[in-house]
Every structure is written in structure tokens, then in C-alpha cells.
Structure 1
Amino acid sequence: MEGPSKINTKSSIETLIKLKSARVKYIDKTDQKSDVRKVFKVLEVDSKQVDFVWCEICGAVLAWHSQKTGTKSLKSHADSHSRKRGESASGSGLQPKITAFNKPANIPKKEVVRVNQVIARGLAGDLLPFRSVEGIGFQSICQEMLNLGAKFGPLQVSDVIQSRHTIKRTRLVEVSDEILANLKHNIAQAASFPRICFTFDLWADKY
């Protein structure tokens, strides 16, 4: 089984966060002298600090080391959020209120209707069931695209979504490897709990 040090890459940590893994902890102790310290949480995986922090505003994972790197990149990231609000996190020396970024969006009803019409046309055009909109997978894709647009502004789909071959042969393998590593860790830790239960769902199909 892979040790934690081999899987604590940015992509693996992002996957653990998406899976809401208990292996990840968010620690409020970045740089106590920095004006942006409240925007970021230091990350720990398996109770060991890693060289990444988590942005509370957009959920991005950024490289950071308390001894090797300063907070310039963190300030730049925080300012990117502030500029969208006409504020400056570093220019004024003031930390933008995180709650200001977490308020429910006041989206005009006609825009909500328009987006859902696009969804309806898209699902019908691809002959997909309308219950897809209620699935965790569909909603996670939409949320990720919304977050990306909020972070980088208007984007072209072709700039973000890769080909089906790349997703199948590369991205799916990466995701499955991360899930497998997380599963192995959970199984290894299971022995420390009073009870262990395994359930197998098996079936056979001759066709």
C-alpha cells in the first residue's frame, strides 16, 4: 500500500477534499503576521502537515510551506477575489470578510429559467434522463464549472473539458487511483475500531 508521502500531491489532496475524507484536517495557523491568514487553512493529511493550504473562499488548494515560501502567492490569490468585489486585501491591509463571499447569490429569476432551459435542451439533445439533474455526479460537475467561472471569468468549454479519450484513459485512472489509496487507508485503520463489517454485492449476467 502506498504511504501517505507518495499520495500527498495537489491532485490527491483535492480528491480527498471532494470525497470529504476524514483524513484531511483544516488548521488555522498559516502566517499569523499575514493579512490573509484568515482566508486560508493549513492542511493536514493523516495528522501530518502537508505543503498546501485551502482557500475558504473558493476551495482552491495552493502550494505553501511555512519555512520555504512566503505569502505573496496567497495574497495574490486573495486579491483576485477582492478585485471582483472592488476591494484590495493587501493594498488596504484589511482582510476581506469571508462571509461576503458566502452570501447566497441574488440571481434574477429569468436567468435561472434560462439556464434550466439550456439544461433541458442539452439533456434532451443527448437523450439523457432528466433525473440526471438530481444526481450527485451532475451537480458536482455543475458546481465545479461554476466555481471555475467565478475564479477565472468567462470561459470556453473547449478550454476546460478534455476529450472523452483523455478522460477515460487518464483522468479516470487518476481518480480511481486516489479513491483506491483512500480506501486502502480506511481499511488499514478499520482494525482500530471495535467492529468491522464487510458487505459484498455480487451478481452474474450471462449476456
Structure 2
Amino acid sequence: DMWAMYLQQTTPGDKEDMEAWNVDLDSDLIFAALFSAVLTTFIVESSKSLQPDNSEELLRAILLQVQTSRNGTTVVPAPFKLAPSAVRVNVYWFCSLVISLSAALIAILAKQWLNYLHAGLSPIPATRARYRQFRIEGTQKWRLPSVISFIPIMLHISLLLFFVGLVEFVWPLNEAVAVFTSVLVCAIVTVYFGANIL
């Protein structure tokens, strides 16, 4: 039968593609999950710098009352002021988290599409061949291979934003740590771009 021969020729290639895509998507999902968990820990810490510390504000108010009672004059407390670097760090890290979670969502949707490609296959060769062609055309129409290959790029962008935020985060804390971290990040980014350009 012609349809059975057609399926015999196309099925092994389809299975190889599906397995390769599934392995890639599994790796992307694991990385996105672990990276997002680590990133969230950093965000919890850095987001504290976006609002005043309550204990510090209370201490400032008590100090202000003591100064006022001693001098007999009223002193206006200085308003809370955000450090520009704190804002930038949080912008980098929140954007990184959004991109990483978006990559995970796209990977899940792609895996669902791949599962759909193999679901409900008919035992009748002619029907099975027709469904295969319909699903392959859908895969091409929605550019599934391009979408799958774009997910690692999203994760790389997310990681780069994290690195930029990390360098900015450590500069106010300690200059030696910041210099070492900056050099290490620059080396990693240089190797990454060198490997991808060559």
C-alpha cells in the first residue's frame, strides 16, 4: 500500500525530530525552573531596597523626637529616597524573571503541541498519513521549530540581565567583591559571544 510506504519513510524522521525537540525542551524547562528559583531569592532580598525599612524609620522618628525635645525646635524628617542603583537592579532582575518564566511557559506549550502531534493516530494508513500531513503543516505554519530554538535565546537574555543586575547589586556592598564579580561576568559573556560568533 502506498500510504503504508509513505508512513514507513516519514515516521522515523518525525520521531527523531520529536525526540530531539523534547530533550531540548526538557533541558530548557529544568534550567528555567532552577534559574527562576535562584533569581526569586535574589529578588526577595533586593526588593527590600525599594521601600523604607520600618525599624530604621522608627529609630529615625525616635531620634527626631529626642532632638526636638532637647532643642525645642521642630525638625522635619528627611523623606525616604530610593537609590538609583537599587531601582536598576530590580528592573534587571524582574525583567530577567519575566523572560525566564515566559520561556518556561513557551516550552510547556511547545511540549503540549508535540504531544498533540502523536496523539490519536489512526491505525488506517491513509487516514494516518493525512493527519500527519495536517499536523506537520500546522507545525510549519506556527513555526514550531523556530519557537523551540528561540527558547534558549530567551534564557540567555534572562541570564545576561541577571549578571548585569548582580554586578550592579554588589558595587555598593564591597568594591573588591564587585571588581572580582565584574571581571568574572565579563569573561563569561566574552566566552559566550566568542563561542556563538565563531
- Flag the structure with more relative contact order, 1 or 2, with Cα contacts below 8 A and sequence separation at least 6: 2
Higher helix fraction (1 or 2) = 2
* Greater Rg by CA: 2
TM-score (norm. length: structure 2): 0.24
Higher strand fraction (1 or 2) = 1
TM-score (norm. length: structure 1): 0.23
